[in-house]
Amino acid sequence: MSFSRRTLLSATAGGLVATAATAHAQNLQPQRGPGYGGADNGPRDLMRDGQNPDILNPPKTDHGTLPNLKFSFSDSHVRQGTGGWTRQVTARELPASTDIAGVNMRLNAGGIRELHWHKEVEWSYMINGNARITAIDQDGNNFVEDVAAGDLWYFPSGIPHSIQGLGPDGCEFLLIFDDPHFDEDSTFLISDWFKHVPPDVLAKNFGVSADLFAKLPDPDDLYIFKAPVPGPVAGDKLRGPKAVSQTFKHQMTAQPPLRTKSGTVRITDSKNFPVSTHIAAALVEVEPGAMRELHWHNNAGEWQYYLQGQGRMGVFASSGQARTFDFRAGDVGVVPFAMGHYIENTGNETLRFLEVFKSSFYADLSLNQWMALTPPELLQDHLKLDQRVLDALQKDKHAIVPA
């Protein structure tokens, strides 16, 4: 055995010992307590185990075979263009999502998401930076606006639109579509259509000569492509005689939040963003140690995007089934329709996430409020709770606890 090979082997053995010790120190073994589980000495991914403590050591209350309710954008294929990148989490990645698909996109300064349309409605939350969005409607009304971090946009089905990153550093945003089987590679692109119409038909359509269409771009070079940063929005607003009757833009973070002692909630649906008839959403902030209370939704399944921090969600599925998932910024979570759940901040910074629903309105039911508004004798016939629990019940809804 050569010196270098011996050195390598001893280093590897030392590494394994250190790894096992680290795993033990952080309770990264699947042993939730004395008499349960055992060490994992086999092949393993310690970083992922560390990120999923409630998968490795589920709470004793978890039970049964709930499907996976989590997917990270970090595990999604990244499609790169000359103007930025995009990746998607759809029913192909997360089959438990039966209402919604999501896309996370970056446009560099000047980068354009090509003029296009699609069958699905498009709802978007601007995560950081600035963009210019354009559209028209079926009556020839015009729409051009700049959007900033915390703003939303909504394009109804089939409405043609574009998105362009602005200075100084472009933007990143989340796109939501009201079909879990949406595919960002299956949108109607302006360059793709031009490429698939005979030049004489183009000539007839536009009333010009066919040779003007001799040099059309390859659609593969567009989709997300590089362009100069446009001038001020005022110059772009002069194209049409009138604006769309219902704006496609909404400033979500400018809304005054519902506030408790330990967090905030901002709700946007068709009541305050009238054009958004197919998507409702809540932007939720939960302080360290606090929790989005036990609740459920009676209108639709929930699709979540984690913007900041880390947390865990427990989901109750009836039939004695329950499962707990850990989340961090960049993850997607799903709560199937009507299942009970809570989301606890398990980190040291504010947990921020979006709850998105395929619905014209936001709705939730609070376990606490339900119990507070039920005759106490009836409640006690069921649960036989200590009087102090009954005294603590709240007739008002408090989305984030402690309230």
Distance CA 256, CA 262 (A): 16
178: contact with Mn ion by CB under 5 A: no
The residue range among 17-25, 85-93, 133-141, 295-303 that interacts with Mn ion, by the rule CB under 5 A, is 295-303
Report the phi/psi class of residue 309: left, alpha or beta, with left for phi > 0 and alpha for psi in -120 to 50. left
Stretch that binds Mn ion, among 30-38, 120-128, 323-331, 377-385 (CB under 5 A): 120-128
Residues 38 and 57 sit within 8 Å (Cβ to Cβ): no
Q: Select the span of 39-47, 119-127, 138-146, 206-214 touching Mn ion (CB under 5 A).
A: 119-127
In angstroms, the Cα distances linking 13 to 5, 10, 25 are 12, 5, 18
Interacting stretch for Mn ion, rule CB under 5 A, among 97-105, 164-172, 301-309, 316-324?
A: 301-309
For Mn ion, give the closer residue by CB, 76 or 124.
124
Residue 102: CB minimum distance to Mn ion, A: 13
Decide if 88 contacts 183 (C-beta within 8 A): yes
- Note the maximum CA span of the chain: 85
Quick one: which H or E segment has residue 114?
strand 112-117
Helix (H) or strand (E) holding 282: strand 280-286
Selected catalytic residue, list 122, 302, 355, 377: 355
User: Could you tell me the smallest distance in angstroms from the CB atom of residue 295 to Mn ion?
Assistant: 6
Q: Which stretch binds Mn ion (CB under 5 A): 207-215, 283-291, 299-307, 372-380?
A: 299-307
Q: Which stretch binds Mn ion (CB under 5 A): 23-31, 34-42, 302-310, 312-320?
A: 302-310
d(CA 16, CA 401): 42
- Contact at 8 Å (CB) between 101 and 91? yes
CA–CA separation, 234 and 110 (whole Å): 17
285/400 Cα distance (integer angstroms): 8
Examine residue 122 and tell whether it contacts Mn ion (CB under 5 A): yes
List the structure tokens of 273.
Answer: 């963003």
User: For the window 244-283, what string marks contact with Mn ion as x by the rule CB under 5 A?
Assistant: ----------------------------------------
Nearer to Mn ion, 213 or 314 (CB): 314
Instruction: State the burial class of residue 121 (Cβ atoms within 10 Å of its Cβ: 0-12, 13-18, 19+).
Output: buried
- The residue among 49 and 302 lying less far from Mn ion, judged by its C-beta, is 302
What DSSP string runs through 47-99?
HHHHH-HHHHS--TT-BS-PPP-EEEGGGS--EEETTEEEEEE-TTT-TT-SS
Both tokens assigned to 228? 């100069």
Element (H, E) at 109: none
**355 a catalytic residue:** yes
For the four alpha carbons of 329, 331, 337 and 339, in that order, the dihedral sign comes to negative
The residue ranges that bind Mn ion (CB under 5 A) are 122, 302
Return the active site residues. 355
